Structure 1
Amino acid sequence: MILLCELLKNWPCTASGGNIRAEVRGVTDHSAEVVPGSVFVVRKGRRSDGTAHIPEALRNGAVAVVTDTPDPPELPPDVAAVSVPDAADFLAHACSAFYGHPSRELEVIAVTGTNGKTTVTHFIGQILKAAGIKAAVLGTLGLWVDGEKQDIGLPALTTVPPTHLQRVLRHCADSGVTHIALEASSLGLEGGRLGHCRITRGVFLNIGKDHYGEHGGEAAYLRAKARLADLSDRIILNRDDPAILKLCEGKSAGWTFGGSPDGGNHIWVEDAGSGSWAAGCGDERTLLPAPVGGKHNRLNAAASLAAAVSLGFGIRSCRAGLEGLKLPEGRMQETGLSGVRVIVDYAHTPDALKAVLESLALEAGGRIITVFGCGGDRDKEKRPEMGEIAAFYSSSVWVTSDNPRNEDPLQIISDILGGIGGEGPNHRAEPDRELAIRRAIAEAAHGDIVLIAGKGHESGQTTAGVTRPFSDFEVARRHLEDIHSNSGSDTVQSTDGIWYDGGEME
């Protein structure tokens, strides 16, 4: 707990009414989360104005209401009315103060980029754990500590708001965690979710096409990404991405990373042939078995290694972590049957889809059959480009739905097919995603790869405002089990190490 006067101390504000020495038992911008003794911060969201929720906050026991509007609303005399210049900034400050500024007790590594944030944060966690560090990972897949998923009630967001972020950081610090790697999305950075959080290292992966529409254009998207440089003690840059170097021009980079050797504070990981990687910095070099495939994952590993090395860990002390790297859920997650490999990946941008398909093309013994779609109410300009990429690398493409949200699924599919000249013998439309997956697997023969792209770990499909349970991996696995049950010949293997024989787990 903290007193209201302590929360407002040294903060530009005016306050009237209420009890300035009231004990604060919570800080939130969601009226439904208000408990007796809470400070309710009124913010104007993308879809609604928090002012409309003040009555509910008062009914739930708010002791103070904070606004940044020129004309604050009338409040009961026993509730403090606080006016601040920026409600979002105050929310981040107040949450940090309420939880005792937990980021000051941790090494916080924030990772931003259009693609790869989830993989890199989990790689960092794995490298640090292997080096004997109790580390946490926070992002798209929730909170993980020492490789174990934590059930602490978080919203399904890449970067959680400060009300949850500071609670998580306090939980981690109190649990003995010393390092945490978290995903910093463009929307999270723009919305000030990482404000008043001490970030030790800011890692910049890449810049691609995503969320332009939600930011109001490319320039606003880039400005949001660039904020991480100002929030971080030191930054780590991808030297192989010109857009990243331009974005951070004039900023002093502590370290860089890439796919080829270079001098100075530069970490590199390259293909050494025969299923091996070479990793190094300056004159230091180590050879290790390649734990995961794909050029993009070598770069992800280099970014993760750069973060660890920049914090004082030597390359050789990170070797065990590098050798044991495992991709997180929904990233190149594989199952299969009768020589057909079925791979589920979150690739939902042009760059990500290209990276995955390029990687699969190098190892494919047969055809590549791709199933994918594009989300509704998002970046329409990327749709034909993704269609073109899928058609270039795949022998067969099934264009389907991927969270149409409030758009017409058929229009989204039409936009995608516009990049490959419409439907044809090898480019087909099937709006029902489950049916598209089943048809793609049915089409595959021994040696073929079926890539199901776009949703990865997601467990729901949103159409017309309604979300129903849906998992690409589970749909694929169920279909493979059906095939096996009917044939009675082969086993179905998944990358979680469980073998399926006739639908029964051994």
Structure 2
Amino acid sequence: MFGKGSRVLLLQELLKDWPCTFTGAKYSVPVVGVTENSKAVKPGFLFIARKGEKVDGISYIEEAIRLGAAAIVLDRPLSIDISCDTPLIIVPDCRKFLSHASARLSGNPSERLTIIAVTGTNGKTTVSRFIGQLLSGLGVRAAVIGTLGVFIDGVRATYDIPSMTTLPAEYLHPLLRDCEEKGITHIVMEASSLGLSTNRLEDCEIDIGILLNVGADHYDEHGSKEAYIQAKQKLVHMAKHLVVNRDDDACIDMIKNATKPITFFGTGETADIRLINENGAYQVKISSYDYELTLPVFEMFNQMNALAAISALHILSFPLKDILTNTRLLSLPEGRMQRIERNGVTVIIDYAHTPDALKIVLQSLAKECRERIITVFGCGGNRDKGKRKEMGEIAAFYSSTVLVTSDNPRNENPLAIIQDITAGFVSESPNVQVEIDRAKAIQRAIANASAGDIVLIAGKGHEKTQHIGEEILPFSDVEIAEQALLANI
């Protein structure tokens, strides 16, 4: 799967200075890998029998032993008897040990790489891509790891890894080792709140941590807004140098007690790296120097995303003149303000799935739209019910017509989700329509659009599937929109 394979360490080396209790005679057994997925166990692997939300790893211990597990790691007493002499190790925290063992077995590659981690409710993918593009423009070999996968020197790379914004440690560290072996020197990664809270980056040395913003998302998964913010705040403690959005009050609160170097970016005079808008012409101001900022993306929020990327490279001591020379080459990721135009109708596909993101996108489109804005959106099931009504209100306020539809309903009733969204509409309106079938909603919106109209399809962006019940079905907003535009000639 990766490069030249893992290092081989004796179990006693992995356990050195690690608080644990040990049962078994094979203390010097060689270890070649670590996993919490019993089906991925190979001879010489440690199996981390962690208790998850739905399943308990203890149930898979026998399977792991049959597949050749060198030892079993738990963070609680074993409640069953196992019929072999496989070592049992009890540690304080399975996730932290998984991170520790993954890093050690991979040779701690983050110690030798330059790691930039980006967190924020909105903009992680775009900022990460911008940083990767700027580094490539400067002749630096870089990998970008995040929601869209792994990109090395701007080209998508194929790895047998889960599709997650922030990779679990057992995949992350071998990937970092592989990048190092390929001559990559800089890694840019998205640090999600869930990735941070579950210790996926615990043993990853982070040189620069970027705090973009804090909005409404993942509250249900963390238990509260406060817990969500605390999860993101972990990056403050992990990174050696911070890049912080001076315009975001929540980000400022997060770094109040930080004692490490901080570089602020923003639009106000107190920002170290400042974005100035002079009648539509943007400039970057650092100290007493003003520099013209040339971007092929014009929305204010993407100018700010570019500023965050510029700030990271400035900290790494790249000449600002060289950085800004390359900003004209920046391009947005797939599914981020992605435009399709035909016969005067503009379709925008965007990942906006939070209230803040939807509002920012609609505000931007309102400035350029000559006629009507038609918005198609829904909210995901089994996720943050509290944001649904607010998103309904935002869509109705900025749009001439709103089609409320499904967006990965998962195990929730799609109609119940839609009812939560439409509770945000002040009153019933003929300009608010409901169409549970997302494809039909997109087709109807485009069929009703005329020259000068903008159709915003929000919520899924780059995604190529629709999660309905227990099924994950092929589905692409982009493909449906392209077909609808052709049919609308």
Give the TM-score, by structure 2 length.
0.96
Once the two structures are superposed, residues 123-169 of structure 1 have per-residue CA deviations (whole angstroms, 9 ceiling, x without a partner) of: 11111111111011101001111100010122111111001111111
Match of 1:331 in 2: 336
Percent identical among aligned pairs is: 49
Residues of 2 paired with 1:468 and 1:383: CA distance? 23
How far has the Cα of 1:449 moved from its partner? 0.5
Residue identity matched to 2:267: G
Q: Which moved more, 1:110-119 or 1:317-326?
A: 317-326
Match of 2:133 in 1: 126
2:229 aligns to what SS in structure 1? helix
1:240 aligns to what SS in structure 2? coil
Once the two structures are superposed, residues 56-102 of structure 1 have per-residue CA deviations (whole angstroms, 9 ceiling, x without a partner) of: 11111101001110346544444111111111110000000000001
How far has the Cα of 1:477 moved from its partner? 0.8
Residues of 2 paired with 1:90 and 1:346: CA distance? 34
Q: Could you tell me which of 274, 279, 282 is aligned with 1:268?
A: 274
Q: Please tell me whether the aligned partners of residues 338 and 446 of structure 1 are also in contact (alpha carbons under 8 angstroms).
A: yes
Residues of 2 paired with 1:121 and 1:13: CA distance? 38
Does the alignment pair 1:256 with 2:264? Answer: yes
Residues of 1 paired with 2:393 and 2:38: CA distance? 46
Does the alignment pair 1:361 with 2:366? Answer: yes
How far has the Cα of 1:322 moved from its partner? 1.4
Residue identity matched to 2:173: Q
How far has the Cα of 1:314 moved from its partner? 2.4
Does the alignment pair 1:42 with 2:49? Answer: yes
Once the two structures are superposed, residues 379-438 of structure 1 have per-residue CA deviations (whole angstroms, 9 ceiling, x without a partner) of: 111111111111111111100000011111111111111111354211111000000000
Residues of 2 paired with 1:217 and 1:4: CA distance? 39
Residues of 2 paired with 1:331 and 1:284: CA distance? 31
Residue identity matched to 2:373: I
Q: Please tell me whether the aligned partners of residues 294 and 324 of structure 2 are also in contact (alpha carbons under 8 angstroms).
A: no
Once the two structures are superposed, residues 29-56 of structure 1 have per-residue CA deviations (whole angstroms, 9 ceiling, x without a partner) of: 1101101111001111121111111111
Once the two structures are superposed, residues 483-503 of structure 1 have per-residue CA deviations (whole angstroms, 9 ceiling, x without a partner) of: 34xxxxxxxxxxxxxxxxxxx
2:374 aligns to what SS in structure 1? strand
Residues of 1 paired with 2:38 and 2:428: CA distance? 49
Does the alignment pair 1:406 with 2:411? Answer: yes
How far has the Cα of 1:295 moved from its partner? 1.4
Against the structure 1 CA distance between its residues 387 and 35, is the aligned structure 2 distance closer, same or farther, given a 3 Å change threshold? same
Match of 1:447 in 2: 452
Residues of 2 paired with 1:64 and 1:320: CA distance? 54
Does the alignment pair 1:81 with 2:88? Answer: yes
Aligned pairs, how many? 481
Does the alignment pair 1:189 with 2:199? Answer: no
Q: Please tell me whether the aligned partners of residues 276 and 285 of structure 2 are also in contact (alpha carbons under 8 angstroms).
A: no
Q: Please tell me whether the aligned partners of residues 447 and 488 of structure 2 are also in contact (alpha carbons under 8 angstroms).
A: no
Residues of 1 paired with 2:355 and 2:47: CA distance? 41
Does the alignment pair 1:157 with 2:164? Answer: yes
2:215 aligns to what SS in structure 1? coil
Match of 2:288 in 1: 283
Match of 1:491 in 2: none
How far has the Cα of 1:260 moved from its partner? 4.0
1:290-329 mapped onto 2 (5 Å cutoff): 290-329=295-334
After superposition, the CA RMSD in angstroms is: 1.4
Q: Please tell me whether the aligned partners of residues 109 and 199 of structure 1 are also in contact (alpha carbons under 8 angstroms).
A: yes
Q: Please tell me whether the aligned partners of residues 246 and 268 of structure 2 are also in contact (alpha carbons under 8 angstroms).
A: no
Match of 2:10 in 1: 3
Residue identity matched to 2:152: V
2:488 aligns to what SS in structure 1? helix
Residues of 1 paired with 2:276 and 2:66: CA distance? 60
How far has the Cα of 1:23 moved from its partner? 1.9
Residues of 1 paired with 2:47 and 2:363: CA distance? 50
2:103 aligns to what SS in structure 1? helix
2:356 aligns to what SS in structure 1? helix
1:374 aligns to what SS in structure 2? coil
Once the two structures are superposed, residues 100-129 of structure 1 have per-residue CA deviations (whole angstroms, 9 ceiling, x without a partner) of: 001011111111111111011111111111
Match of 2:3 in 1: none
Q: Please tell me whether the aligned partners of residues 17 and 77 of structure 1 are also in contact (alpha carbons under 8 angstroms).
A: no
Q: Which moved more, 1:320-329 or 1:63-72?
A: 63-72
Residues of 2 paired with 1:191 and 1:58: CA distance? 26
Q: Please tell me whether the aligned partners of residues 236 and 254 of structure 2 are also in contact (alpha carbons under 8 angstroms).
A: no
Residues of 2 paired with 1:138 and 1:332: CA distance? 20
Q: Could you tell me which of 166, 169, 186 is aligned with 2:176?
A: 169
1:436 aligns to what SS in structure 2? helix
Residues of 2 paired with 1:324 and 1:349: CA distance? 28
